[in-house]
Amino acid sequence: MSLEAILTQLLMGLTVGVNLVLVATGLTLVFGMMGVINFAHSALFMLGAYAGLVAATHLGSFWLGLVIAPPVIGLLGAGMERWLLRPLRERYPLSHLLPLLLTFGLSLFFEGSAKVIWGADIVSLGKPALLGGAVSLGRITFPTYWLFALVAAAVLAAAVWLVVERTSLGLSIRAATQDPMMAAVLGVNTQRLNTIVFALGSGLAAAAGVILGTMTSLSPQMGAGIVLDAFIAIVIGGLGSFTGAIVGSLLLGQVQSFGVALLPAFHTPLIFLVMAVVLVLRPSGLFGSTDRR
């Protein structure tokens, strides 16, 4: 492998990794606070991409699509939590299965609806002319759009990191992901926090949907692959841990990128091998606390 190839591979892995952070954040925070794996997360990612497409087509600007999709899907996520998940959890506070089934049902509903509304045809979200072509970075050239995808996702992820790690809201979120019951006893309004976290996670997934959808194509099942990756990332990083989601996602991006280059026939099992090794050495993931659950 030439130096150029190594650097390119590194940047590609980073682009995918930071976008994975956006998808993984919602999954891990929701799990941390509610103990629910949100199966509808892939559908929210997909709906984000379509919302971006609709906004971009009707308003004639990719940028408006990128700005409008996250809050719209964020509201949808908040609504899901407030009017579907919360009543269910209040009625059956001990069940982990029912919320899981609810989100699974919702994912089927959203995918089916997308097929009815937008059809099963493969469609594409065009990138703005400004982001066409490629840029030179020292010895390598990298597509402008991919660089944008890297920077945009990194900025978003950094903003979320600041909120989670440096604000009082973030302190409450971290407390609630560590131990929801204790946080509630200490006066944190965990119900409101659940809605906020659901909205935040959905919005971030939608942003990733628009950013990544532009690199590939849009279809009702487009979310399945990326959310599986995000799930692997948070299992490696530690379920419920935000730091773990970041580290796991960035690691997974590099494993995928270099796995393809160095072990082409073995890269799919390689990812699961990494996960298995991490789980053997640290059963609750790199940043998961061992005394929980």
Partner 1 sequence: MNRRQFITTAAAAGLGAGLLPRPLRAAEPIKIGVLLPFSKSFAVLGENTFAGFMIGAKEAGPAIAGRSYVIIKEDDTADPSVGVSKVRKLIEKDEVDVIVGTIHSGVAAAIRNHIVDAKKLWLNPIATNDLLAEQGCSRYHFRFSNSAWQSAAPLGPWAKAKLGDRAYICVFNFAFGQQSAAHFKKAFTEAGGTVVGESFPPFNTTNYAPYFPAIKDARPQFVFANFAGSDAVAFVKQYADFGLKGPIKVLGPSNLVSEDVLPAQGEAALGIYSNSYYTPSYDIPKNRAFVKACKEAGKEADHFLCAGYDSAQALFGALRETKGDVANTERLIQIITDMKIDSPRGPLRFDPKNHNPISDIQLRTVQAGPLRHVVIDVLKDVRHPDLGCVL
Which residues are near partner 1 by CB under 8 A?
A: 1-2, 4-5, 8-9, 12-13, 15-16, 120-124, 126, 134, 141, 143, 145-146, 212, 215-217, 219, 221-222, 225-226, 256-261, 264-265, 268
- As measured in angstroms, the least distance from the Cβ of 143 to partner 1 is 4
- As measured in angstroms, the least distance from the Cβ of 268 to partner 1 is 6
Give the number of other CB atoms < 10 A from CB of residue 167. Answer: 11
Instruction: Write out the two tokens for 135.
Output: 């840029």
* Dist CA 235 CA 232 (whole Å): 5
* Dist CA 16 CA 219 (whole Å): 19
- As measured in angstroms, the least distance from the Cβ of 139 to partner 1 is 13
Nearer to partner 1, 48 or 240 (CB): 48
Nearer to partner 1, 104 or 142 (CB): 142
* Dist CA 23 CA 5 (whole Å): 27
* C-beta separation of 35 from 194 below 8 A: no
* Beta-strand relationship, 140-143 and 134-137: antiparallel
Nearer to partner 1, 29 or 140 (CB): 140
Nearer to partner 1, 61 or 216 (CB): 216
Torsional class of 236: left (φ above 0), alpha (ψ -120 to 50), beta (otherwise): alpha
Nearer to partner 1, 1 or 75 (CB): 1
Residues with Cβ within 8 Å of 232's Cβ and at least 6 positions away in sequence, in order, are 248, 252, 271, 272, 275
- As measured in angstroms, the least distance from the Cβ of 282 to partner 1 is 27
- As measured in angstroms, the least distance from the Cβ of 129 to partner 1 is 11
Nearest to 252 by CA among 239, 271, 265, 269: 271
Nearer to partner 1, 5 or 162 (CB): 5
Backbone angles phi, psi at 182, to 5 degrees: -65, -40
- As measured in angstroms, the least distance from the Cβ of 209 to partner 1 is 12
Residue with tokens 């971030």: 204
